[in-house]
Structure 1
Amino acid sequence: MSSVKYLCIDDQPEDFIQPLLSKLSNCKAGLNFDRMHPQEFESQFERINALAREEQCFGLLIDLRLDQDADLENGNRVYYRGPTLAQELRTRMAEGVLPSFPIVLWSMNDNIVHSYAPDSSSHDLFDAVYAKDDGQNVLGESVALELFWLAAGYQKFNKVFEQGAALVLEGFLGLDEDDRSYLDPRLISFLKGKVVYEMAGKILNTLIRSEGVLVSEIMLAARLGVDIVKSDGSWSQLLSEMNSASYSGIFHEAWPRWWMHRVDAWWAEIVAYKASLRKYSAPERIAIINEKFGLNLVAATPIEDSYSVRYSTVCVATGRPLDPVDGFKVFSPLQDAWQDNRYVSTYAVLQRVKKTEWVLDPLEVERFKQLTDRLKNEKKN
């Protein structure tokens, strides 16, 4: 894949938007942007349709609030917002009027928090959401890679659907013949669809962006008991040894992931008695791996000295390895059966670390109350 073009529709001034787009382009060769001010619906669709059919790899980057600033050239202002435009585009894609392409939302963080986040009905319209004023995130290489490979992934989907070929799940996900037996059959049934953007959304949100069947690098490190930073080069060497467990399906270039059932199989091959990872402490896991592959991995230390080091998850607030016994389950309203529960450490709950980003599961509230009551009594005594 050599070139990807995004049309950026944004009503903010050129001197604010263009430097952001230029920095993203510089982060990934072949990633290019066209910029335009919002226009009336039909003329907007004509431009989008022309570019989508002209460019082999195309995507749309739109602002949330398209109705705030008038065009400096002619003073025109539209009276619709990004989600309204995205909904109409998705409808036309489903009807076959428009080819499918990724739609990415970017906006000021305050707009995302106060306008986009509360409106869950619009969340499925976008393949990704970024804050323009979060320079550490938006202007980084990771976001440029995600934009590039989102469009490339859509192109792969489009080719299959245009040829009228049957959707082969194994082909899109990079599965081997024996992998299907390890996957929840409900997941197999769920990952089907007749519209490209529907399939892309399911794979992104159900598999890639959630921990469970696939795991992220930080989750993989936690389950192996590894401190990535302190392990330095040994961590990348270990990932090479575990290449057979890596996800090679669609969008993998921007979102490195590992099949958990393959990780478990890999572990069973290197330990005696085929014991699971969960039965070993982090130092024990590290000792086994270092001896097997001649590495210098360093075991991750617990969030608190008294915490268990039989890690199996990550604290959503601190990002550090955690044994669920030292935390609380986090509320996840749309969790599927094949996705793992999320946990926040007791330390993060008591210290209210990133409190706006998680909510305790209702079934955990009473246990938390018991904990706080006990701590109060201990303090009195």
Structure 2
Amino acid sequence: MDFKILYIEDQAAESREQDLINLGFNTLTYDPSSDISEVLQQVKQADINALILDYRLTAGQKQACFDAPTIAQTLRTKYSHDTNNKYEFPIILMSNEGIITDYYNDFTSQDLFDFTLTKKEFLDKPERFKSKLISFINSYEVIKDSKYDILKILGITSNEENLVHTGIITKTKQFDQHTFEFSRLIFEQIIRAIGPLIGKDVLAARLGVSQSSPDWDKLLLSLTNTRYVGILSDVYPRWWMAKINEWWYGITEATIPLRRLDAEERVETIKSKLNLDLVPIIKTEYSNSSNFWTICKYSNVAIDPFDGIELYKRDLLPWQEKEYISIETGLTSMDKLKDYISVIDKKAIRELVKKINANG
């Protein structure tokens, strides 16, 4: 399909426009004026599949007096009740690194864009950007075509309803058929969180298997029926934890859950049943347990939550699991993370630092 993209940039955009064209997108560029209604008219006339915005839009020849969040907010609200959903499409923020940092510091703007990236990230990995953008465009179509049926959107059948936490169903009932809200919930709160779905690093931790194992790919192949196949699954591989548990009991014919075994025990069981060459994950220096169940949020190393440092200051939704960092990350990044670590954990880390220093 020939996807049509509108790229709004206030300065010379020819190079970026050509980059997008080279990726196969039918690309239009636009330097916004100071009248936002003209911008909206341009969007309507373009009949696009996605919109890409630079953050700062005030330095162009037409002297726009607003930035990307204003355009995104206006589009999200003005056409939120459009009956044919013609103006609901992915909106992507692409700007310079420092400006993207400003965006993340502006909490009022963080619920407007489907995803963000720096221009450097775009140039470094253009094919990754292409795959991701196409996946988001397709996800909007799936959401609309499914008539906002959350089971269909998540790629599960009616007899698999138990995979979906009731909180997710309750949440989607509030969206009133707003495509962006469905897409954002699934991307930000289901795919990018640890809960009913888990990513590859958490999967490895819970199986106790190192991803550098010779037969890691064969192990993944044996887990094909546990894969998530809903929207965005082509660029964000995920697995249903409930199905992983079913798989585990199916191959082991045991009654002992994964959580109660250490990495070596899990790996030996899987190796004996599937005849695969697998290597267990080795615990980190300051970990006591190899009963891995989660990962460090910043280093992605496997940890047992009992060895981890719990992160606070985030309102978890009912289906989401707590987030942790490893002790190693706590030791090296205390200043950056101090607002997210409890007083007790901060004290424990300081005591560990003293002990390490005392031992030379």
TM score, norm. by length of structure 1 = 0.85
Whether the aligned pair in 1 keeps the contact of 2:259 and 2:291 (CA below 8 Å) is: yes
The amino acid of 1:259's aligned partner reads W
Paired with 2:122 and 2:44, the residues of 1 have a C-alpha distance of: 31
Partner of 2:65: 79
Q: Within 5 Å, which residues of 2 pair with 1:48-127?
A: 48-52=43-47, 55=48, 58-67=49-58, 69-70=59-60, 75-96=61-82, 99-113=87-101, 115-127=102-114
Alpha-carbon distance, 1:7 to partner: 1.2
Q: Within 5 Å, which residues of 2 pair with 1:173-184?
A: 173-184=154-165
Q: 1:21-46 CA distances to partner (integer Å, 9 max, x unpaired)? A: 356x1xxxx54432222233222212
Whether the aligned pair in 2 keeps the contact of 1:313 and 1:322 (CA below 8 Å) is: yes
Partner-residue secondary structure (3-state), 1:274: coil
Paired with 2:205 and 2:26, the residues of 1 have a C-alpha distance of: 37
Q: Within 5 Å, which residues of 2 pair with 1:26-65?
A: 30-39=24-33, 40-52=35-47, 55=48, 58-65=49-56
* Structure 2 counterpart of 1:264, from 235, 245, 251: 245
* Structure 1 counterpart of 2:115, from 116, 128, 151: 128
Alpha-carbon distance, 1:47 to partner: 2.0
Partner of 1:302: 283
Alpha-carbon distance, 1:237 to partner: 1.7
Whether the aligned pair in 1 keeps the contact of 2:208 and 2:264 (CA below 8 Å) is: yes
Partner of 1:210: 193
Whether the aligned pair in 1 keeps the contact of 2:92 and 2:116 (CA below 8 Å) is: yes
Paired with 2:26 and 2:285, the residues of 1 have a C-alpha distance of: 46
Paired with 2:340 and 2:21, the residues of 1 have a C-alpha distance of: 42
Paired with 2:104 and 2:39, the residues of 1 have a C-alpha distance of: 25
Whether the aligned pair in 2 keeps the contact of 1:5 and 1:59 (CA below 8 Å) is: yes
Whether the aligned pair in 2 keeps the contact of 1:213 and 1:260 (CA below 8 Å) is: yes
Number of equivalences:
354
The amino acid of 1:9's aligned partner reads I
Paired with 1:204 and 1:298, the residues of 2 have a C-alpha distance of: 32
Paired with 1:142 and 1:359, the residues of 2 have a C-alpha distance of: 33
Whether the aligned pair in 2 keeps the contact of 1:267 and 1:277 (CA below 8 Å) is: yes
Alpha-carbon distance, 1:62 to partner: 0.5
Q: CA 1:306–1:102 in 2, change beyond 3 Å: closer, same or farther?
A: closer
Q: CA 1:31–1:14 in 2, change beyond 3 Å: closer, same or farther?
A: closer
Paired with 2:247 and 2:260, the residues of 1 have a C-alpha distance of: 15
Q: CA 1:160–1:376 in 2, change beyond 3 Å: closer, same or farther?
A: closer
Whether the aligned pair in 1 keeps the contact of 2:163 and 2:240 (CA below 8 Å) is: no
Q: 1:53-107 CA distances to partner (integer Å, 9 max, x unpaired)? A: xx5xx0111011111x32xxxx322110000000000112213185210111111
Q: CA 1:338–1:49 in 2, change beyond 3 Å: closer, same or farther?
A: same
Q: CA 1:305–1:196 in 2, change beyond 3 Å: closer, same or farther?
A: closer
Say whether 1:226 aligns with 2:209. Answer: yes
Please provide the CA RMSD for this pair: 2.4
* Structure 2 counterpart of 1:149, from 125, 128, 135: 135
Long gaps (5+) in structure 1:
162-166
The amino acid of 2:88's aligned partner reads S
Whether the aligned pair in 1 keeps the contact of 2:287 and 2:327 (CA below 8 Å) is: no
Paired with 1:289 and 1:141, the residues of 2 have a C-alpha distance of: 35
Q: Within 5 Å, which residues of 2 pair with 1:357-368?
A: 358=337, 361-362=340-341, 364-368=342-346
Q: CA 1:333–1:190 in 2, change beyond 3 Å: closer, same or farther?
A: same
Q: CA 1:322–1:96 in 2, change beyond 3 Å: closer, same or farther?
A: same
**Aligned-residue identity in percent:** 27
Partner of 1:164: none
Q: CA 1:32–1:265 in 2, change beyond 3 Å: closer, same or farther?
A: farther
Q: Which moved more, 1:296-305 or 1:336-345?
A: 296-305
Q: Which moved more, 1:235-244 or 1:95-104?
A: 95-104
Q: 1:254-277 CA distances to partner (integer Å, 9 max, x unpaired)? A: 211111111111111122432111
Partner of 2:230: 249
Q: CA 1:296–1:361 in 2, change beyond 3 Å: closer, same or farther?
A: same
The amino acid of 1:318's aligned partner reads S
Alpha-carbon distance, 1:380 to partner: 5.0
The amino acid of 1:12's aligned partner reads Q
Q: CA 1:271–1:183 in 2, change beyond 3 Å: closer, same or farther?
A: same
Paired with 1:199 and 1:189, the residues of 2 have a C-alpha distance of: 12
TM score, norm. by length of structure 2 = 0.89
Say whether 1:273 aligns with 2:261. Answer: no
Q: CA 1:154–1:372 in 2, change beyond 3 Å: closer, same or farther?
A: same
The amino acid of 1:310's aligned partner reads N
Say whether 1:10 aligns with 2:9. Answer: yes
